[in-house]
Amino acid sequence: MAAPEAPPLDAYGELPRIEDVAISPDGQSIATVAQDEGDRRVIVMKDGKPLLNGSSGKTKVRAIEWADSDTVLLTNSSTVSLFGFAAAKYELSGTIILPMKPGNESGLVFAKNQAIAKTTRGRYGIRNIAGRTVGYFGGLALDVDGGETRFRHGRATLYAVDIQTNRARIAAAAPAENHYRDWLVDAAGNVAVTLDISETTGVWKITPAKGQELARGVDPTGDVSLVSFGKGGSTVIYQVEDEDGNDRWFEVPLDGGESREILNDIAIERLFVDRSTGNMIGYRMSGESRKTVMDDPAHQSALTRIFRAFSGREAHLVDWTPDFSKVVVRTTGNKDSGTWFLVDVPNRRADPIGDEHPKIAPEQVGPISLVNYAAQDGLEMDGVLTLPPGREARNLPLIVLPHGGPAAHDKPEFDWWAQAFASRGYAVFQPNFRGSTGRSDAFRHAGDGEWSRKMQTDISDGVAELAKRGLVDPRRACIVGASYGGYAALAGVTLQNGLYRCSVAVAGVADLPMMYSTDVRESGDSKMLGKALREQLGDPKRYGEVSPRRFAAKADAPVLLIHGKDDTVVAYRQSQAMAEALKDAGKPYELVTLPGEDHWLSREETRKRMLLETMRFVQKYNPAD
């Protein structure tokens, strides 16, 4: 079979034409964030008729949801420079109210309150209180003195916001200094449970609004969280991490009593929570079985049928009506570059809402599969292999594409970056090395202290497995990645040698001591964050041993560095420092700066540029033909 003609490279670099979809609680309206010729738009349809079709401008839209059947909430973010804070720039989120009913207020949450910053710091549910819709948001209190406004502190206060009027009142006070708080709001709109953590000592406690303390413990890294209310709302579910690094779930009665462990030895992919009450109503297991377990038999039947209907593709439940009669599903995988469906469960219909990449035809999607292999020490792992469409999978040139995080994992689904390389004739391998999520907690913690050690050889062990199977030519390989993947790409040609023809690091970490000091300083010298980083990275005295910048003189392949100037996750200085080290060592490199771009490549024009520069570089040093 002849290979299909490849789409233009920009078809892969474009932001998805459909970015998010939400269904109203009454099931009559659909809200969509969509791209139209470079213009991001918010579109609301009711019974097939348009209620809204407006441009979101240059704002970075992160999510869309319904507060009630008459009101849409839009989450956005922007990179903001703040004077006098630990970091020079922050990525701040906001929530925009979009009423579909005339007369209701629109605009940013907190816009009517001069004593609250116009940013939301956490979402704690939407409740219907006496016929009115109330949203619970974390906010930052301001001190207003004449014409001067100052942040009181950086700790979130919990506010209840009347969605119709956009008026806010305090629902719960901010935590004390060097403390963090989380809350659960019950169906009646009461702050029923508070989690308080000391960032100094790691002591945490869970307390109800009335009565005695429900649970207490110590965790120096702060790995404890409120999950939800239990079935019926009479219990609290919380999660802690034990001394072995395992996440454990516990349930305790709201009126007091012993905590009991639940969901033992069950890997949870997705938790289902009733959005009007905060009560847990079911979950979906990860792993090969991918079983869905719901409290309500009707919900169980509906979700089982939905997942069965989309078998063979990665199917993600995005939104649903309270009775699960209508569900929004996103699919991706082989011959599917991303498709959104509205599923009518009683009538057994799945109507397409739209395609994410309409310029990429099904036959142009490179075959995707999961490859199982073992590391040098015998640890079992896997990786995602994407092949060029219409080409024999034999001795192919290779792009190794490790994921970011590193606490993340790749699935056998459409990946725009991997597919772009595959369309140009490359096999693409995305290894789920130790330290990745998606398996056991033990597998995730097997990466602790293993940056550029076993985590790095896990990647090259995967390449050796593909070569052993005859799928790729290991002599024609480049390593490419972003964030932690960018770190792995730099380590692959400095701390490792003789493996790759080129390296591309997008927003990559080059110097671990710099990363550690920057992260701790920008957190306000949080002891808890410092402890968590040391747990993941190991002894700070050895960070220099696994910093690619310190080994620039050993680089045995050309390096391309790409970094956004507005990156608030990995400092732009990381790529600058690597470039300086490579220059001083007389090694071939390029540095591409993306003005106004953040860590996630949120802007279409710069995402396209990143892809163009990466492909040019890879094709120069590792041509596919």
* pLDDT for 397 beyond 90: yes
pLDDT category at 86 given cuts 50, 70, 90 is low
588-598 tens-digit pLDDT: 999 999 998 99
Phi and psi, residue 467, nearest 5°: -65, -40
| Residue-level pLDDT at 514 | 95
Per the domain annotation, does 358 fall within a domain? no
Is 46 among the domain residues? no
**Residue 370 in this model has a pLDDT that exceeds 80:** yes
Residue 413 has pLDDT above 80, yes or no: yes
Residue 384: the pLDDT is 98
Using CA atoms, how far apart are residues 391 and 3, in angstroms rounded to an integer? 6
Distance in angstroms (rounded) separating the CA atoms of residues 430 and 409: 9
Given a cut of 80, whether residue 359 has pLDDT beyond it is yes
Mean pLDDT score, 607-617 = 97
Whether 246 maps to a domain, the answer reads no
- Residues 248-266: pLDDT tens digits? 999 999 998 999 999 887 8
Q: Is the pLDDT of residue 4 over 90?
A: no
Residue pLDDT, tens place only, 191-248: 999 999 999 899 999 999 988 899 999 998 889 999 999 999 999 999 998 877 788 9
602 in a structural domain:
yes
What pLDDT does 489 receive?
Answer: 98
Give me the domain span that covers residue 396. Answer: 363-511+547-621
Please tell me the number of Cα atoms within 13 Å of 248 on its side-chain side.
11
CATH number for the domain harbouring residue 489: 3.40.50.1820
Closest CA to 498 of 460, 526, 462, 527: 460
Distance CA 406, CA 402 (A): 9
**What pLDDT score was predicted for residue 270?**
84
Give the per-residue pLDDT at 1: 58
Q: Confidence band (pLDDT; 50, 70, 90) for 83?
A: low
Range of lowest pLDDT (136-150, 316-330, 395-409): 136-150
- Rounded CA-CA distance 442/251 in Å is 23
Answer whether 0.85 is exceeded by the pTM: yes
Check pLDDT > 80 for residue 58.
no
- Residue 288 binned pLDDT confidence (cut-offs 50, 70, 90): low
- Say if residue 478's pLDDT is above 60: yes
Q: What is the pLDDT of residue 528?
A: 85
Is 80 exceeded by the pLDDT of residue 623? yes
Please report the pLDDT score of residue 276 as a whole number: 93
- Asked if residue 438 is part of any domain, the answer here is yes
- pLDDT over 90 at 309, yes or no: no
> Going edge to edge, which strands form the sheet with 89-99?
60-68, 71-81, 89-99, 107-108
Arithmetic mean of pLDDT over the chain: 93
- What integer is the mean pLDDT of 89-107? 89
Q: What percentage of the chain exceeds 90 in pLDDT? A: 77
> Is residue 559 pLDDT above 90, yes or no?
yes
Q: Is residue 531 part of a domain?
A: no
- What's the number of CA atoms in the CB half-sphere (13 Å) around residue 462? 29
Q: How confident is the model at residue 33 (pLDDT cuts 50, 70, 90)?
A: very high
Q: Which residue has the tokens 């004593």?
A: 115
pLDDT score at 350: 93
Task: Determine the average pLDDT of the residues in 346-356.
Answer: 93
pLDDT of residue 87: 66
pLDDT of 164 > 60? The answer is yes
Q: Is 509 exposed, middle or buried (0-12, 13-18, 19+ CB in 10 A)?
A: buried
Give pLDDT tens digits for 488-500: 999 999 999 999 9
Tell me whether residue 590 is in a domain. yes
**Which range among 159-173, 288-302, 473-487, 579-593 shows the weakest confidence by mean pLDDT?**
288-302
> Into how many domains does the chain fold?
1
In a domain, 426, yes or no: yes
Cβ atoms of residues 137 and 109 within 8 Å: yes
